[in-house]
Structure 1
Amino acid sequence: MVQNLADAYNDTSILFRFLRHLGWGDLVNIGYFTLPTLPAALGGLAPFQRTLARKSLALLDTSPGHVVLDAACGRGHTTACLADNACQALGVDIQPQQIELARERFGNRPRVSFAVADVTRLPEEAAGVNLTAGSIDRVHCLEAAFHFGPAGRRAFLAESYRVLRPGGRLVLVDLTWPDTAPQTLAELDPHRLVRDTWQFEDFDTPKTYVAYATAAGFDVSAVLDWTRPVVHRSTQLLRLASRLASSRGGRRALRLWWPGLAVLTHQDWQNLTAVLRAHQTLGRTAGYHALVCDKPDH
């Protein structure tokens, strides 16, 4: 399972190969897009990914000295941002390859550490940081819990509640599925082009997430709907990309703008077009929400 998940975030995936040439790598989230900033996508996607990370981290409301667990930290960008904000930041991820990259990039910074760990079953200690009950001030999880499955998401929420001190906070930002969607995710992805690309099976609804968090003991103080700036506007860009990728002239234009794409073969372009179109279909229905979950201080 871990290797399959790793393959979603390396050149084994044709979509990741494409996105890497467009600026993915430092971060691997979708990005946060506003209408005035959309044209800037011609310069790459990294600025939009950093914007999403900043908005997610801001919800933590950290203070200097806070001990923060960055759950499923990926390549460590958000963990390093927390440390730069005078927090003691521990980034954990189940993928050894990601932790290796995070350590290479940020391991020498003060107040930051990384460890391989399963956030649905945390150890009592990781990289010298205590993870026993009530030992952590904040927990952050940006766009990763959709990989966990329903049981894994419940387990992660329970683990987050356990390690947080009374008055602590979890911020969980994730893809979601509308309660009112007329079709299931599987019906809209019949060939599994989206689910197999990112190695997941389903999304929870916002109501289900709130129910999970409440059952774990949290007070859910905010549920922010970021569907439009994240999913809908990125889907607009995917629509444009799929149109370009499907024609000879469009592919030529893409290679001129991002020369690294010259390595893609004709078969790569055909596969990419199919995957982009599948993401478009799903993107018209999928949602994206940020949950702020507080552990009662009594």
Structure 2
Amino acid sequence: MTRPYFDDLPRLFAQNDTAALQAFGKHIHWGFWADPATADGSLEDFFQAAEQLSRQLLAHADIDDGLQILDAGCGFGGTIALLNGDYQNLHLTGININGEQVERASQTVQPQGSNQLNFVCGNACQLPFADQAFDVVLAVECIFAFPSREQFFAEVRRVLRPGGKLVLCDFLIPNSLGGLWKAFEGVTNYLVTRAYGKFTAEDNPPINFWTFAQYAQLAAATGLSSLKIEDITPNTVPTYPVVNRLMKAVDPSSTAATSGLAFLTRIGAIRYVILSYQMPLA
């Protein structure tokens, strides 16, 4: 069986697959278009939109020079590369459970100016860092593949400093559809995992989706204050035809998940959301 497309990216890069390199050589997430009508379907346009999605998320984090920042599920280090180029005296740490992705990030992202970079192969739900080590924790379109959102939030609360922020983006299910979603979750999880891979250890549970209400309950249970919820679903829709085209060229059978996600997005059954939280000040 062909490896899931995103699991197979390092092989495609090694073969100098120009389409894969241009689209996903830096970021492994969806794009953001301020005006979706301007999307032209090109790989360069998609790459710029992926850069903009990271910037959209970073705008919630109030980044400034001199901070300690953790990017959980850092992929190939694209978001860290943006921070590295825009700020000074940052201590930037990326963690990812996929060793191939960590290796590429370490090779392609080098510290600029007074910044310090460290890429670690590890589990975001078992962070190998000291208590109160970070001012900001980021999780860009990856938390759905973590072993447990509850464990991740608990770890974030441990490693964040007082007043520190967690900013993430995720695919969310409207509260009104939570019960109905359960009936289709098994099929959806299989298709998504088959197409995109799990990005995680083999013994982890399958990719899963949460409702807005579940996030609110988790934040309250963890002791994090919800700062903002930004629904950017319409701004991400031009991603789907680009990703479908890329995946179809490698494995025509892999496009069912992207087509399904696109359909569910168009009918409002899946929302793409940026969520930000803050630790208590004391």
64-73 vs 36-45, which moves further: 36-45
Secondary structure class of the residue paired with 1:291: strand
Summarize deviations over 1:42-95 as a string: whole Å, max 9, x none.
644111100101111121102211111111111011112223312211111111
Alignment of 1:71-220 (within 5 A): 71-84=72-85, 85-86=87-88, 87-109=90-112, 110-123=115-128, 131-149=129-147, 152-181=148-177, 183-184=180-181, 187=184, 190=187, 192-198=190-196, 199=198, 200-220=206-226
Return 99-108 or 28-37, whichever deviates more.
Answer: 28-37
Partner of 1:253: none
Partner of 1:32: 32
User: Alignment partner of 2:207: what SS?
Assistant: coil
Q: Which residue of 2 aligns with 1:251?
A: none
Would the alpha carbon gap of residues 176 and 5 (structure 1) be closer, same or farther in structure 2, given more than 3 Å must change?
A: farther
Number of aligned residue pairs: give it.
258
The match for 2:274 is 290
The structure whose Rg is larger is 1
Query: For residue 119 of structure 2, what is the amino acid of its counterpart?
Result: F
Indicate conservation of the 8 Å contact 2:194/2:254, yes or no. Answer: no
- 1:227 aligned to 228, 233, 236, which one? 233
Q: 1:22 to 1:82 in 2, by over 3 A?
A: closer
RMSD: 3.1
Query: Cα–Cα, structure 1 residues 95 and 240, in superposed 2: closer, same or farther, change >3 Å?
Result: closer
TM-score (norm 2): 0.80
Cα displacement string for residues 91-132 of structure 1 (whole angstroms, at most 9, x for unaligned residues): 111111111000100145442111112111111xxxxxxx32
Q: Distance in 2 between matches of 1:276 and 1:166?
A: 39
Report the TM-score, using the length of structure 1 for normalisation. 0.76
User: Distance in 2 between the 1:278 and 1:19 partners?
Assistant: 23
Name whichever of 184-193 and 200-209 sits farther off: 184-193
Alpha-carbon distance change, 40 to 190 in structure 1, aligned in 2, over 3 angstroms:
closer
Cα distance between partner residues in 1 of 2:9 and 2:43:
22
- Contact 1:239/1:280 (<8 A) preserved: no
Counterpart secondary structure, 2:261: helix
Which consecutive residues of structure 2, in runs of 5 or more, have no partner in the other structure? 199-205
Aligned residues with identical type, % of pairs: 26
- Counterpart residue number, 2:20: 20
Are the aligned partners of 1:185 and 1:202 in contact in 2 as well (CA < 8 Å)? no
Alpha-carbon distance in structure 2 between the residues aligned to 1:273 and 1:196: 10
Structure 1 unpaired stretches of 5+: 124-130, 246-260
